C-alpha cells in the first residue's frame, strides 16, 4: 500500500461548523513554527489575550485560549468551578444544554434542569422559579446561541436573574462570539467559553475562555483539587499570565494560535459591531431567498440566530439526497438536523468568513437546483 499526500476538495462550508476559513488565516497557519516558550510566541499570546478581551467585551485578566476545541472550553468552566454536591441550574433547549448536564453530573454535582422546547429560547421565568425553589444553587448554566436549533437566548436577562439569587453564570458562547451582540462585563457573565471554528472563522481546535472575578474567587476557594489536570486553570494561569518567563504546562498548538491571532486581527480591523451587522445583513438576504422558495424557518424571528439558520425540510423531500447533491455537485456543505430535528430540518451556517454575499447566492441557487431535481 502506498499512501500519498491528502488534498481535500475545496468546499464552501455553510453548515453548523467548522465555517469557511479566510485565506489570511490559512496563510498564518503555514508560518514557521517556533517554541511555545519563545519570547516572540509569548508576546503573541499576550496579543491574543488582548484581542479576545475585545471580542468578549471584557477586562477579565483571565481571558485565554484553551488548547482544545469548544467542548474542552465547556469542561474547563465546569471542572474548575463546580464541586461535588453543589446544585447547578442547567437550561436545556437543545443538544448543548444537554452536554452541560453531563458535565455537572460527572462532577458529582446536582443538575436542576430547566427544559424548553427545541427551537425556543431559555424561558427566564422558569429560571427564576428554579432559583426560588433552590436557593442554595451555586450556578446558572445556559447556552447563549444553541447550535442544534438556531435559537438565541437573552443572556443579559438570565445573568441579571442569576445575580439576584447570588448564583454564578456559566455561558456557552461557542456560536455567538463574533456573530451577535455579546458583552461579558456589562451583562455580568462569570465564566464563558467559545470555539475558534464558528464566527471567528478560524481552524477548529481552540477554545477561548474568560473567567470573571467571582469565578476566580470560586476557583481559588475550592476545597479539593480540580478533577482534570490538563484543564486545571490554577496550573494554566502561570503559563498564560506568569510574570517574566512563563512556567511550562503543556505544548501549546503554536500554528493554530497563529491562526487564531490572525482571525482576531481581522475581527479587530472590521470592528465587532460591524461584524454583528454583517451577519445580520447576510441572514436577511438568505431569509428573503428562502422565503421566495417557500421554505420556512423553525425559530421565531425574535429569537433567531442570524449565523445559524434552521429551516424546515419541505414535505416529501429526501433530506440526505439534497445534502448529497449540494456536496457532490456544488461542493457546498449545509448541516443536517440533530436530535428532535433529525430528518426534519437543515441548518445553514452564515458564520464568520462564510457570511458573504457570494455564499448566500451560491446556497440559494444550489438549493433551488437540488430541490428541482
Q: What cell numbers appear for 324 in the block?
A: 448529497
Distance CA 89, CA 113 (A): 6
Three cell numbers, residue 11: 468546499
Beta carbons of 66 and 231 less than 8 angstroms apart: yes
The pTM of this model reads 0.97
Classify domain 23-268 by CATH architecture. Answer: 3-Layer(aba) Sandwich (3.40)
Rounded CA-CA distance 211/213 in Å is 7
CATH topology of domain 12-17+271-372: 3.90.1150
12-17+271-372 and 23-268: same fold? Answer: no
Q: Would you say how long the chain is, in residues?
A: 373
Is residue 72 a contact partner of residue 231, using CB atoms and an 8 Å limit? Answer: yes
Residue 204 has, within 13 A of its CA and on its CB side, a CA count of 10
How many Å apart are CA 185 and CA 189, to the nearest integer?
Answer: 6
Residue-by-residue pLDDT tens, the chain, 373 positions: 899 999 999 999 999 999 999 999 999 999 999 999 899 999 999 999 999 999 999 999 999 999 999 999 999 999 999 999 999 999 999 999 999 999 999 999 999 999 999 999 999 999 999 999 999 999 999 999 999 999 999 999 999 999 999 999 999 999 999 999 999 999 999 999 999 999 999 999 999 999 999 999 999 999 999 999 999 998 888 788 765 557 788 999 999 999 999 999 999 999 999 999 999 999 999 999 999 999 999 999 999 999 999 999 999 999 999 999 999 999 999 999 998 899 999 999 999 999 999 999 999 999 999 999 8
What's the gap between Cα 250 and its chain centre? 23
- Domain limits, the chain: 12-17+271-372, 23-268
Amino acid at each position: 500500500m502506498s499512501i500519498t499526500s491528502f488534498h481535500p476538495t475545496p468546499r464552501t462550508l455553510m453548515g453548523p461548523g467548522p465555517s469557511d476559513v479566510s485565506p489570511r488565516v490559512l496563510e498564518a497557519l503555514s508560518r514557521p513554527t517556533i517554541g511555545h516558550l519563545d519570547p516572540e510566541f509569548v508576546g503573541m499570546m499576550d496579543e491574543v489575550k488582548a484581542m479576545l478581551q475585545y471580542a468578549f467585551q471584557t477586562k477579565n485578566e483571565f481571558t485565554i485560549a484553551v488548547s482544545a476545541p469548544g467542548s474542552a472550553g465547556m469542561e474547563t468552566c465546569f471542572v474548575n468551578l463546580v464541586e461535588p454536591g453543589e446544585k447547578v441550574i442547567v437550561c436545556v433547549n437543545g443538544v448543548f444544554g444537554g452536554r452541560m448536564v453531563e458535565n455537572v453530573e460527572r462532577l458529582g454535582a446536582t443538575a436542576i434542569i430547566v427544559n424548553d422546547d427545541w427551537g425556543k429560547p431559555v424561558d427566564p421565568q422558569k429560571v427564576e422559579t428554579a432559583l426560588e425553589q433552590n436557593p442554595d444553587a451555586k450556578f446558572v448554566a445556559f447556552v447563549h446561541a444553541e447550535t442544534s436549533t438556531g435559537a438565541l437566548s437573552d443572556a443579559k436577562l438570565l445573568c441579571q436573574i442569576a445575580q439576584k439569587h447570588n448564583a454564578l453564570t456559566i455561558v456557552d458562547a461557542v456560536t455567538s462570539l463574533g456573530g451577535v451582540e455579546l458583552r461579558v462585563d456589562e451583562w455580568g457573565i462569570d465564566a464563558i467559553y467559545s470555539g475558534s471554528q464558528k464566527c471567528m472563522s478560524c481552524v477548529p481546535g481552540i477554545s477561548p475562555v474568560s473567567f470573571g472575578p467571582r469565578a476566580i474567587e470560586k476557583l481559588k476557594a475550592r476545597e479539593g483539587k480540580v478533577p482534570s489536570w490538563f484543564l486545571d486553570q490554577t496550573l494554566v494561569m502561570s503559563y498564560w499570565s506568569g510574570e517574566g518567563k512563563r512556567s511550562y504546562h503543556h505544548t501549546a498548538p503554536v500554528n493554530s494560535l497563529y491562526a487564531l491571532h490572525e482571525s482576531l486581527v481581522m475581527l479587530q480591523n472590521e470592528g465587532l459591531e460591524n461584524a454583528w451587522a454583517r451577519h445580520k445583513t447576510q441572514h436577511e438576504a438568505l431569509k428573503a431567498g428562502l422565503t421566495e422558495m417557500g421554505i420556512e424557518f423553525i425559530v421565531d424571528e425574535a429569537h433567531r440566530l442570524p449565523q445559524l439558520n434552521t429551516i424546515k425540510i419541505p414535505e416529501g423531500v429526501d433530506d440526505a439526497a439534497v445534502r448529497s447533491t449540494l456536496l457532490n455537485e456544488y461542493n457546498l456543505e449545509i448541516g443536517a438536523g440533530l436530535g428532535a430535528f433529525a430528518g426534519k430540518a437543515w441548518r445553514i451556517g452564515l458564520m464568520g468568513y462564510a457570511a458573504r454575499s457570494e455564499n448566500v447566492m451560491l446556497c440559494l441557487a444550489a438549493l433551488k437546483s437540488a430541490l428541482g431535481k
